[in-house]
Amino acid sequence: MNRRQAGTAYRERIAALLAELGLPASLFADRPLRLIAEARRLTPVGLGTDGRDKLLTPGAARAWRSLRAAAAGDGVELLLISGFRSVDYQAALIRAKLARGLSAEEVLRINAPPGYSEHHSGRAVDIGCTGTAALDEAFETTPAYDWLRRHAAEHGFRMSYPRGNRQGYLYEPWHWFHVGSTAANKPAM
């Protein structure tokens, strides 16, 4: 299968998954979301706060280790909550929220639709710190967040979802994306 065929097959897979979940593209058509391919080369970066080994692309893994070491050098502990997330795992997260009674609109303010999560790229990390609940807006009041705000760009990371972000997600001060090279920032398909 050539690259074009692979891209078409991926888009078809995502469309079928969105239909199965009852998430018509019209729910997020007015948001500037881009289809993101799943990373193919991943490397372990250590245990996350859930006790499971987390994965990132090799470049993002090096950048994460550098970021964490620099923070530690300044007396700031950064905890890895989440890294690579497959399309299937993303779909499972959404299924669970829909099963709990959340509407599709509510779910899509919290989670990206399968195929559109930065976590698929293997270059996104959710970061936490001791003493603050994971994935909580209160993270913005911590020394860890303050350190990230001042130093993350030096390691190639940017916060993806600030307040009022164009993508329409809730504010996520814990979600940081390894930008990498210009070529790496082009849409996957």
pLDDT score for 166: 95
Task: Measure the CA–CA gap between 23 and 21, rounded to whole angstroms.
Answer: 6
**Which of 27-36, 109-118, 159-168 shows the lowest per-residue confidence on average (mean pLDDT)?**
27-36
Domain holding 168: CATH number?
A: 3.30.1380.10
Structural domain of residue 67, as residue ranges?
3-185
120 contact partners, CB below 8 Å, separation of at least 6 = 36, 37, 38, 39, 84, 85, 86, 87, 90
Domain total for the chain? 1
The string of pLDDT tens digits covering residues 76-135 is 999 999 999 999 999 999 999 999 999 999 999 999 999 999 999 999 999 999 999 999
pLDDT surpasses 90 at 27: no
